[in-house]
Amino acid sequence: MQPPPTIHTREWRGWTLHECDVLGSTNDHARDLPPWHAIRAHVQTGARGRHGRQWASNQGGLWFSAVLPLEPPGQGWAAFPLAAGLAVVSTLRGLGLGEARLRWPNDVLVGPRKICGILMEKFTSDRVVVGLGLNVTNRPADADPALAAIATSLSEELPLSPSAGDIYPEILTALRTLHGCIAEEGFASLADDINSHWGGTRDVELQLPGETVRGRFLGIDSRGDLLVEVDGHPVSHSASHVQLMREV
pLDDT average, residue stretch 38-66: 83
Same-domain pairing of 46 and 103: yes
Total number of domains constituting the chain: 2
Per-residue pLDDT at 55? 67
Q: What is the pLDDT of residues 89-136, one digit of tens each?
A: 999 999 999 999 999 998 999 999 999 999 999 999 999 999 999 999
Q: Per-residue confidence at 50, pLDDT binned at 50, 70, 90?
A: low
Q: What is the pLDDT of residues 184-222, one digit of tens each?
A: 999 999 999 999 999 988 999 999 999 999 999 999 999
Quick one: residue 208, left, alpha or beta (phi over 0 = left, psi -120 to 50 = alpha)?
Answer: beta
CA dist., res. 137 & res. 162, Å (int): 8
Tell me whether residue 70 is in a domain: yes
CATH code where residue 226 lies? 2.30.30.100
2 within some domain: no
Judged by DSSP in three states, 201 sits in coil
Q: Is residue 51's pLDDT more than 80?
A: no
Confidence bin at 52 (pLDDT 50/70/90)? low
> Is 234 found in the same domain as 183?
no
pLDDT digits (tens, 9 = 90+) for 10-46: 999 999 999 999 999 999 999 999 999 999 999 999 7
Q: Tell me: the pLDDT tens digits for 169-186?
A: 999 999 999 999 999 999
pLDDT single digits (tens) 65-97: 999 999 999 999 999 999 999 999 999 999 999
Same domain? 229 vs 145: no
Confidence (pLDDT) at 122 = 93
103 and 19 in a common domain: yes
In this structure, the answer to whether residues 187 and 227 fall within a common structural domain is no
User: Residue 114: what pLDDT?
Assistant: 95
- Rounded-to-integer distance, Cα 66 and Cα 31, Å: 10
Determine the pLDDT at residue 47.
72
pLDDT, position 235: 95
Q: Is residue 3 a part of any domain in this protein?
A: no
In a shared domain, residues 216 and 127: no
Please provide the DSSP assignment of 70-106 as one string: --STTS-GGGHHHHHHHHHHHHHHHTT-TTEEEETTT
Residue 52 sits in a domain of what CATH number? 3.30.930.10
Question: Would 74 be classed as within a structural domain?
Answer: yes
pLDDT band (50, 70, 90) for residue 141: confident
Top-confidence residue, 8 or 46: 8
Say how many C-beta atoms besides its own lie within 10 A of residue 157's C-beta. Answer: 19
**Domain hosting residue 36, numbered range:** 8-195
Is it the case that residue 53 has pLDDT exceeding 70?
no
Query: Is omega for the bond preceding 105 within 30 degrees of 0, making it cis?
Result: yes
At 58 the pLDDT is 86
The reply to whether 222 and 116 lie within a common domain is no
Structure confidence by residue, pLDDT tens digits, 214-246: 999 999 999 999 999 999 999 999 988 999 999
